[in-house]
DNA sequence: CGCGCGCTTGACTAACTTCAAAGATGGTGG
DNA sequence: CCACCATCTTTGAAGTTAGTCAAGCGCGCG
């Protein structure tokens, strides 16, 4: 059940994030932040870093993850364009953020956010709503990790991703098998084998390893919720 | 890994919560809510119920849980005196709440909370802080469920509970083995066997099944974080 | 062309679950 | 006050799922 300590897979320990093509010029009173870009695999913030602002993903995708000291990793969430992280009252990040594709982010200072809340109290409600939605997602994820089988985990994951990306029957996976495994609390081999099983049962098709077609969403849904 | 469907263990389907000894008289403009009491095992709210207010636990303890349609259960959290649930911008509860001991709760209407926020905007920040703390706890729980072994889960659980209850070396477990199993994503037998193993290794002592003494917190901590 | 990387597959192993039964414990009623 | 019953916990033996170790495949890039 437990991945071996040698499973540390942080092959990336890059410099950090560099100012993007647009650069710091966008730091203006309009409320638009600093645009930065990150290459795939690049680390944006590390668990324990002080939270100095929040990021909104303009394009691309990132993963949030936590690790044990011996390198086992749990992916907390994947974020895509339009979603944010770093909106918290905590002092430090409780997770690491890494790009899983070439990603553009807009960084906003915490001070400005505080000021904006003063100016328009309605904003506080929006942030609270985001935190509540994140909490609901995390709790759904708890049920998946604690009580679902590998088949159920994959079915849930594929359906959830399709719903999130707004695609009816096909999903372009933005993450690797390793990322999926670390999100689902499985190993890469089990993810691969389970996808193969779903494919052999005619529930999905794999055009390429990243391009999944949901052939039988109805049956996948039944599996996802416990046959 | 997956508990059998027959593992449905909601032996309780009681009427709900009855007005407590103090009754509805406490519904006054002071902001003090309605006091209610629940016997051990009694259901307070059910997953899917509309959120009509929030509850603060005056005494006793409750568990929050989610279930699959076939009855497998994942405990999301345990709450003790002084802690709250139902503080959310969601419309419906995403979890069921049940008392795990004789519990007294104070119920506050949502409308009054909204009004209080209008009156003192600082309150909004407090609520946001609670949501962020809950989120951090849930994410720590994700790492436990997804990537820790049974030994690590139990060590983490006992240390966390001791820290939370503010006791140095002894813990009075307020929940059953089944509840612990459902929190840790294990079966009741594995919980029992693991506690026995920790006891035989001299790391803990069990005065009674509920009374745990942490004999070697240092070694437990090393186990909790991955030997 | 061949090298490297990510994905898949196979054989075997280990951890945890399942099924079964035997202690504890605690409350209730005789 | 004590015996009995229901419930919770512990323990044992066997079964399953997912993990580990190892190798092969396929694609893209230099």
Identity of the residue in A5, A127, A139 whose CB atom sits nearest the CB atom of B128: A127
**Whole-angstrom distance, CA of residue B14 vs CA of residue B42:** 6
What is the side-by-side order of every strand in the sheet holding A34-38? A18-19, A34-38, A103-109, A53-59, A84-85
pLDDT in tens, A166-179: 887 789 999 999 99
pLDDT, tens digit (0-9, with 9 covering 90-100), for A101-118: 999 999 999 999 989 888
Identify whether the C-beta of residue B166 lies closer than 8 Å to the C-beta of residue B208.
no
Q: Does B6 touch chain A (CB under 8 A)?
A: no
Run of H or E residues at B65: strand B61-67
The SS3 of residue B164 is helix
Cβ within 8 Å of residue B13, ≥6 positions away: B43
What is the C-alpha to C-alpha distance for residues B37 and B51, in angstroms, rounded to an integer?
19
Report whether pLDDT(A6) > 50.
no
> Which residue of chain B has the CA closest to A144?
B74
pLDDT means per 10 residues, chain B with 227 residues, are 42 44 40 88 97 95 97 97 96 98 95 89 91 98 98 98 88 97 98 98 96 97 93
* B18: Cβ contacts below 8 Å, ≥ 6 apart: B36, B37
- C9 C1' – A110 CA distance, angstroms? 49
A chain contacts of residue B70, beta-carbon cutoff 8 Å: 226-227
Read off the pLDDT of each residue in A1-8 and give the average, rounded to a whole number. 42
> What distance in Å separates the CA atoms of residue B211 and residue B217, rounded to the nearest whole number?
15
| DSSP 8-state symbol, B84 | E
- Probe site for chain A from B147, B150, B223 (most A CB atoms < 10 A): B147
The confidence score (pLDDT) of residue A15 equals 41
Residues of B in contact with A184 (CB under 8 A): 146
Q: Which residues contact B47 (CB under 8 A, 6 or more apart)?
A: B66, B67, B93, B94, B95, B96
Place of tokens 């690049």: A42
Residue nearest to nucleotide D7 (CA to C1'): B176
pLDDT at B31: 61
pTM of the complete model = 0.91
CA distance B35 to B24: 7
């Amino acid at each position: 059940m437990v991945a071996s300590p040698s499973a540390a897979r942080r092959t990336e320990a890059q410099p950090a994030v560099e100012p993007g093509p647009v650069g710091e010029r966008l730091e203006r009173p309009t409320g638009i932040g600093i645009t930065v870009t990150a290459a795939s695999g690049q680390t944006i913030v590390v668990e324990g870093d002080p939270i100095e602002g929040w990021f909104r993903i303009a394009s691309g995708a990132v993963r949030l993850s936590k690790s044990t000291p011996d390198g086992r990793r749990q992916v907390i969430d994947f974020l895509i364009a339009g979603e944010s992280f770093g909106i918290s009252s905590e002092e430090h990040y409780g997770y690491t953020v890494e790009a899983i594709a070439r990603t553009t982010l807009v960084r906003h200072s915490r001070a400005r956010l505080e000021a904006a809340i003063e100016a328009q109290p309605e904003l506080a409600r929006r942030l609270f709503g985001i935190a509540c939605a994140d909490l609901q997602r995390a709790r759904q994820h708890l049920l998946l990790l604690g009580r679902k089988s590998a088949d159920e985990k994959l079915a849930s994951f594929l359906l959830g991703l399709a719903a999130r990306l707004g695609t009816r029957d096909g999903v372009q996976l933005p993450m690797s098998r390793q990322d999926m495994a670390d999100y689902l609390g499985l190993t890469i081999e089990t993810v691969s084998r389970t996808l193969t099983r779903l494919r052999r049962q005619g529930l999905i098709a794999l055009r390429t390893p990243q391009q999944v077609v949901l052939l039988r969403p109805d049956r996948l849904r039944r599996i996802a919720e416990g046959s």
